Structure 1
């Protein structure tokens, strides 16, 4: 029986209010986030984290004083472990959780994986759409820490799954459930809201926005609603640089002008955290009321939806050993997206 270690990657979040500032520092000191030389990045990260900490602490107070992201990810890891236990390949799978900017960090998890002594390590970011700022950052940190821990097992990287059947089916089901609860109301406009990125990162070849668009197209096709009214938009903008758009705030304002109710789908998130529980549920709900949106509803994240978990298990079980690729077979992204790390043949 072969031993397989599956490592789930997520952003992480502060586990108490005192952890907010160091968490923010870790975030902004990441060269994938602030792309400046180390000494300059360090100083900027110190400045931003100190200035933003009081604001962020208020956000986390609204969630009970801590981020729920680790608990959410632990539940997903448990569900995935249980699903993998039903496999028929005879292998043993153990699932680990590694957070990028707060505990458990990759260094500690790499030591746990080393002690487990697996025959293969399978890396699975909980970011359906690949970005150099999220999945790639986590994978690079893991590579460094795995090397330091002395992990020599073959490593398979499952970098993204923007149109994976289980992921798409899970969100489609949750949207349908939300639409059923809205029966009797006017048909809403669907806002597929994803975390934003600076435009220069996308222009530099990051495939994230393109992959978000593929996700939304797949969900819309599976919904199969005639004349579906939907928009893709981006939230969580920070700093003075230009970000990809349209902004979620602007689309909320437009819905108010059009007299359209809204159903918001957090299409790039698979776990509940500050950007869903506070930004979408509180701040944007208040904005919608101010802008005259008739009704504002939000679809929950897929979290432990059975179709999503089964889909993740399928990605793991159907992997191509030792690869680093979208869907673990052929390259998903067009070759113009140089930020894509996939190795096999390119799609024209």
Structure 2
């Protein structure tokens, strides 16, 4: 008998996306701010209000991307992650052949482009893999909805497993802790003996109203920090969880990263920023953290300002992703967390597992 063909598994990697040239900044921002998961206003208001916000933010955003050479590096870094993940999963053969497809939410390649490429490959099944460790309706939730709409539009219909989050996955936490440990050692070596050093675990913020409505993001960020600290195993480490990138006048979850930098300056503490909700370098790490916040810290006279790099294609992180994919496929669930079942407490009504239960009940 001829050997059995390996089962084709399409991996759909979700990420935010970013403009690929200066002219792309405005339409990228329009896509972002007209997403109903982001701008939560009545539908008849959203198109014009979203375009107004995009218009007002275009010039400062172009300035930020100019620092990066005129475009976001996110696509290239995500493609590299995809290739590394495929290599890890396909090493040594096996019953499955994996191929990753990148689906960006707000700029190309977007969901329909990725879905068409996946359909052309003719997969036997698909696994949706968010490159957001923590679930939010504004990120993974929006990306899954866009993917499902694209699949309906082009007629891609294969058995699909959705990984909703990996906030406390041991492999992910260990890989992050290794990067943090190396940066701690480097920062301590550059500071005078006895100098105070504080780790700021910085995540993208959200309007407080979204969290109060049931979004589990903030709780999951806190779980990530706890998991990384367990893996780091350095009792007594001075640390704070904080949030960056506020873009609207609403009240956002806190404390803010800017406020924590200011507090550290007053207390004569150096800071080591650890991005805890980003797994790739992009404008919020390379510009906001490395340029804007650093300048502010230096103006405040902070004793030292350091940053942990994002995971990108770190071998430990890629190995963790590969393990997550394999466990998701073996879970027997259409929707699974890094541990299989739902992880979020009941009060988080926007946990995707809670929404799936509501749909079944309806």
Structure 1, residues 12-69: CA drift from partner, whole Å, max 9, x if none? 0000001000000000000000112222100011111111101100000000000000
- Aligned partners of 1:8 and 1:125 also within 8 Å: yes
CA pair 321-152 structure 1, distance change in 2 beyond 3 A = farther
- Aligned partners of 1:193 and 1:248 also within 8 Å: yes
CA pair 87-151 structure 1, distance change in 2 beyond 3 A = farther
Note if 1:307 corresponds to 2:313: no
Q: What are the within-5 Å matches in structure 2 for residues 120-269 of structure 1?
A: 120-184=125-189, 185=191, 186-269=195-278
- Aligned partners of 2:200 and 2:273 also within 8 Å: yes
Q: Secondary structure at the match of 1:329?
A: coil
Alignment-derived partner of residue 346 in structure 2: 335
Give the drift of 1:118: 0.9
Report the count of equivalent residues: 346
CA distance in 1, matches of 2:135, 2:323: 18
Match of 1:69 among 71, 74, 82: 74
- Aligned partners of 2:11 and 2:98 also within 8 Å: yes
CA RMSD of aligned residues (A): 1.5
CA distance in 1, matches of 2:276, 2:121: 34
Structure 1, residues 228-258: CA drift from partner, whole Å, max 9, x if none? 1000000000111000000000000000010
Match of 2:112 among 107, 112, 129: 107
Alignment-derived partner of residue 89 in structure 2: 84
Give the drift of 1:302: 0.9
Give the drift of 1:126: 0.3
- Aligned partners of 2:130 and 2:140 also within 8 Å: yes
Structure 1, residues 308-334: CA drift from partner, whole Å, max 9, x if none? 101111111112245212126111111
- Aligned partners of 1:189 and 1:262 also within 8 Å: yes
- Aligned partners of 2:167 and 2:223 also within 8 Å: yes
Give the drift of 1:191: 0.1
**Which 5+ residue runs of structure 2 have no aligned equivalent?**
1-5, 358-362
CA distance in 1, matches of 2:92, 2:275: 30
Q: Secondary structure at the match of 1:9?
A: strand
TM-score (norm 1): 0.97
Alignment-derived partner of residue 283 in structure 2: 274
Q: Secondary structure at the match of 2:236?
A: coil
- Aligned partners of 1:325 and 1:341 also within 8 Å: no
CA distance in 2, matches of 1:160, 1:313: 14
CA distance in 2, matches of 1:12, 1:123: 16
**Which 5+ residue runs of structure 1 have no aligned equivalent?**
none
- Aligned partners of 2:243 and 2:253 also within 8 Å: yes
Match of 1:290 among 279, 293, 299: 299
Alignment-derived partner of residue 31 in structure 1: 36
CA distance in 2, matches of 1:2, 1:318: 16
CA distance in 2, matches of 1:92, 1:329: 23
CA distance in 1, matches of 2:282, 2:15: 11
Alignment-derived partner of residue 19 in structure 1: 24
TM-score (norm 2): 0.93
- Aligned partners of 2:14 and 2:102 also within 8 Å: yes
